Amino acid sequence: MSELSRSGILPLPEIALGCMSLPENFSEAEKILHKALDSGITFFDTADMYQKGKSEDNLGRALKAKRSQVLISTKVGNQWNSSGTAWSWNPRKAYILKAIEESLKRLRTDYLDLYQLHGGTLDDPWQDTLEAFEILKEQGKICAFGISSIRPNVIRKVMAMNPPATIMMQYNPLDRRPEEEVFPLLEKTETRVLVRGALAKGILLDKPLTGFLDIPKEKVAEIKAEIHRLGFSPEAVLIRYGLMEKAIGSLVIGASSIEQVEKITKGYEESQAVPDELIQELKRKFSPNLYQDHR
């Protein structure tokens, strides 16, 4: 397990609950969050832009009494305009130092376990951005910082300047782009990947078939059929698929209902019985897709 805390002794759990899809209604969101906590999930990931801050507010209200028992991560960089009708990208130090105060207030805490930049390009003022995170660490307002990026060129640049604790990116059998360069780079370091999209938006579970990235619908159907043929729930297979990678620390899996939380926790428990060879066979059977841009 990776470690992430002020003192370096709290483990980073293999499963985190993604809060982007939580209901805006507090009572409904609270039930889902408490179900997750009661089921053993102690890592919660959100962002200041989700529901214009409502996601953070609901998370903070629901878990305030349990703060010492959980890890909380949020993201920054997307700044809403004054009317709340659109947002713009703002990775500058001054904005980050201001935005965290609002996030802390909504989350009802005086520190974050992880604070992530919610995107990034090569043209961003990275020195300025990274200075903001270092200031927040020195102030005790964050334990660690991360970035959310799928771009190999951005990841290489940040790793060379000031390696973050985590990098969030998509990874699943329909998006294997990180295998080519990013995973080999990060597994040699202490930086760990937070995976989003581990369940491929449900397409490999029970949602209607569609194409995914550059993979046509017909190929998605083949991959889905193979996953369902393996003798385990598709959730278990997909969770094991992600956690087998050395560079990965946690899978951030979203839920919008208690039933989905139950499927996640059951799938995680079952995933521990999925043989590595089954996953390796699945990977060998289908060629990985590659990055075409941002190389």
Q: Which of 50, 115, 171, 268 is catalytic?
A: 50
Measuring CA to CA, which residue among 129, 286, 267 is closest to residue 198? 267
127: enclosing H helix or E strand: helix 126-138
> Does residue 269 have a pLDDT over 70?
yes
Asked if 50 is an active-site residue, the reply is yes
The domains of the chain are located at 2-285
Distance CA 166, CA 74 (A): 12
- Taking every pair of Cα atoms in the chain, the longest distance, rounded to a whole number of angstroms, is 53
Going by C-alpha positions, the residue among 255, 249, 21 that lies closest to residue 114 is: 249
| Helix/strand/coil for 278 | helix
Tell the CATH superfamily of the 2-285 domain.
NADP-dependent oxidoreductase domain (3.20.20.100)
| Global confidence as pTM | 0.94
Measure the CA–CA gap between 255 and 36, rounded to whole angstroms.
9
Mean pLDDT (the chain) is 93
Split at pLDDT 50, 70, 90, the class of 79 is confident
The share of the chain scoring above pLDDT 90, in percent, equals 89
- Per residue in 153-185, pLDDT tens? 999 999 999 999 999 999 999 999 999 999 999
Does the structure show a pLDDT above 80 at 293? no
